[in-house]
Amino acid sequence: MGQALIRVSHKEKGSIPDNPAPLFKKAIKDMKVAIVGASGAVGQEFLRILAERNFPMDELVLFGSERSAGRKYTFKGKEIEVKLLQHNDDFKDVDIAFTSAGAGTSKEFAETITKYGAVMIDNSSAFRMDDDVPLVVPECNAEDALRRPRGIIANPNCTTIMMVVVLQPLEKISHIKRIHVSSYQSASGAGAVAMAELQQQYKEIVETGEVKTIKKFPHQLAYNVIPQIDVFQPNGYTKEEMKMYNETRKIMHTDAKCSAMCVRVSSLRSHSESVWIETEKPISVDEAQKAIAAAPGCTLADDPANLVYPMPLETAGKDDVYVGRIRKDISDENGLTFWLSGDQIRKGAALNAVQIGEYLIKNDKKFLK
């Protein structure tokens, strides 16, 4: 029987609407928001998403390195100049700080950012596995954000975020015991410089027949795939692959074991993943489709008979994680396999952080008048 394409709107799912500000209008105090790392790829996405979702705030301040300080960006028609990130009192009146300037910067400036009470929602890997820092994906464990003794909330790795958003509705049907995942990660996962390098490589191939520019990646990426993302660990896995193991367990509060193979591919934006799970009890394709279609943050695109399945070209710039190719594992009656694709700069980074902020504003007494 062919698998039907099911599409469910955000409104039907009960997730945060595209323009959430009216929900908060009477509930929150005057808000001051900061972005640290405003000039980077994720920092720029923060600006777009905060504007698109009409994030409730009275003032926005931008911070960056010496290289970025002085640049000006337009937000909702107003020009804002990037301030130099320093150890001073610039964060004294800030309520929420979205930080995406690298793990080293986050570690160095965490105390400066949080010492006057600002909540630091950090996109780096600096604090993800610290016991006293919650690691949050709102569709899975939003309540963890309310318990943050250090005033820091960690944003997970992009590949982990996209996977657990889809695993969560399946976990509610039957406990997931094991996960095998292969990721197909685009150039943008390594930043704007990496995207430019991939484009330059294709240009060089067309013009000269050979690639000369190889700086950001360990090998030529154009017309190639590289089975390495981040550095190798003593157990043979890369750091990226171990993030998926450890972060999944922390976010979902699970004992499930996740074995990952993370691969860099030559698409420009949006990551994809091939996921296999083993559950305690069998989950039918129909059950999985219905659960995923109804889950916040997911869009089901599963009609292979009509060549409908998620692809990076179509998921780039979208908020949801798109899921398709859902099928029973023919080698394991408790196995289920599927394919997902999502924009790792949006849901895999900036959007997830902004959704954490939205949850806090609605549910944390700190932000109520």
Per-residue pLDDT for the chain (369 aa), expressed as one digit of tens each? 344 454 544 434 544 444 445 445 444 568 999 999 999 989 999 999 999 999 999 999 999 999 999 999 999 999 999 999 999 999 999 999 999 999 999 999 999 999 999 999 999 999 999 999 999 999 999 999 999 999 999 999 999 999 999 999 999 999 999 999 999 999 999 988 999 999 999 999 999 999 999 999 999 999 999 999 999 999 999 999 999 999 999 999 999 999 999 999 999 999 999 999 999 999 999 999 999 999 999 999 999 999 999 999 999 999 999 999 999 999 999 999 999 999 999 999 999 999 999 999 999 999 876
Active-site residues, by number, are: 158, 271
Compute the distance between CA of residue 141 and CA of residue 138 in angstroms, rounded to an integer. Answer: 6
Calpha distance 48→68 (Å, rounded): 18
Full DSSP string of 189-242: GG-HHHHHHHHHHHHHHHHHSS----SSSSS--TT--BS--SPBPTTS-BHHHH
Q: Report the C-alpha gap between 330 and 244 in whole angstroms.
A: 25
**CATH superfamily of domain region 12-156+349-367:** NAD(P)-binding Rossmann-like Domain (3.40.50.720)
Of 3.30.360.10, 3.30.565.10, 3.30.70.1290, 3.40.190.10, which CATH number belongs to 160-345? 3.30.360.10
Domain ranges of the chain: 12-156+349-367, 160-345
